[in-house]
Homo-oligomer: A and B are copies of this chain.
């Protein structure tokens, strides 16, 4: 049986109140007693029971994390970062995956609240508006959604890759995403379009809408680079390119997004952009702890996406080895 507050109190012949005060530094306790209490506490390996504490304080020291789909390779990294930071901030993470039926997201939030989480970290399903929950919450979406707390700078990432391609001498581009239903992908494409330089042109395509055909068409008419909104999209296009005898990067450059696990390993290795998930998780948790502790919340943050140049956009040099930054 775990030791309780009363055990310490009995062992030292003082009241439980004093022990509580000593351990948490509240109330008035002599320095001497405080020391003895601490000593006894970690002699017994005492840790306050969460139930009693939660009951009294109304705080469960737990955060709820709502994800659209854990099996989407983009999210585990964020989940990991969020978990790590909340751990060091003294909070546990309850997770819920809103994958599945419509309304699952609201349901998941309701369940979390019912379990008494102190706050929520929400990565919303694409384009859903959610009624604001009655606890502090951090929204991780795109900077373009209102109420956003922190997110990758997708638009800036789009700009970066276009600049990178321009430097490589490409002026006729194909921009291709999976589906324009996704705000993230729209932002990325928007960022690309915005920073097309003088004399550059680009056609936009969506994989869900016959994008491959559009893409080949554009290449036929002189496009020399394909900027996709996701490594997975890039991989999906690479196959047909190879089969058509179009070489990457010699004849057409190709880029992705997110540095998924295969990007560094496929051939050619894929140039991509990635946001520091750690920074995102850190800011989300920092925002929530600030609110929970009554401090003013920091302003929303836009985490830059950094370019990882690899062989797929190389100037006809040999493919080179790259390491993945953690």
How far does the alpha carbon of A225 sit from the alpha carbon of B270 in the complex, in Å?
A: 27
Q: Which of A34-58 touch B at CB < 8 Å?
A: 47, 49-52, 54-55
How far does the alpha carbon of A52 sit from the alpha carbon of B53 in the complex, in Å?
A: 10
Q: Decide yes or no whether A96 CB sits under 8 A from chain B.
A: yes
**With A260-B261, A261-B73 in contact, is A80–B97 under 8 Å at CB?**
yes
Q: Point out the residues of chain B lying under 8 angstroms from A238, CB to CB.
A: 267
Contact A73 B73 (CB under 8 A): yes
- Residue count of chain A within 8 Å CB distance of chain B: 47
Q: Which of A95-128 touch B at CB < 8 Å?
A: 95-97, 99, 111-112, 114-116
Of A22-30, A86-94, A163-171, A190-198, the one with at least 4 CB within 8 A of chain B: A86-94
How far does the alpha carbon of A61 sit from the alpha carbon of B60 in the complex, in Å?
A: 13
How far does the alpha carbon of A87 sit from the alpha carbon of B60 in the complex, in Å?
A: 19
Contact B116 A95 (CB under 8 A): no
Closest to A50 in B: B116
**With A55-B51, A71-B76 in contact, is A95–B93 under 8 Å at CB?**
yes
How far does the alpha carbon of A80 sit from the alpha carbon of B71 in the complex, in Å?
A: 7
Contact B114 A47 (CB under 8 A): yes
Q: Decide yes or no whether A279 CB sits under 8 A from chain B.
A: no
Contact A235 B266 (CB under 8 A): yes
Q: Point out the residues of chain B lying under 8 angstroms from A79, CB to CB.
A: 70, 95
Contact B93 A94 (CB under 8 A): yes
Q: Decide yes or no whether A305 CB sits under 8 A from chain B.
A: no
**With A54-B54, A80-B71, A87-B96 in contact, is A239–B266 under 8 Å at CB?**
yes
Q: Decide yes or no whether A210 CB sits under 8 A from chain B.
A: no
Q: Point out the residues of chain B lying under 8 angstroms from A83, CB to CB.
A: 70, 95-97
Q: Point out the residues of chain B lying under 8 angstroms from A61, CB to CB.
A: 115
Looking at the complex, which one of B50, B111, B243, B262 makes contact with A54 (CB distance below 8 Å)?
B50
**A71-B80, A80-B99, A243-B267 are known contacts; what are 8 more A-B pairs with Cβ within 8 Å?**
A51-B54, A62-B94, A79-B95, A83-B95, A93-B96, A95-B95, A238-B267, A266-B266
10 contacting pairs across A/B (C-beta < 8 A): A70-B80, A70-B83, A76-B76, A83-B97, A93-B95, A94-B95, A235-B266, A236-B265, A260-B262, A262-B266
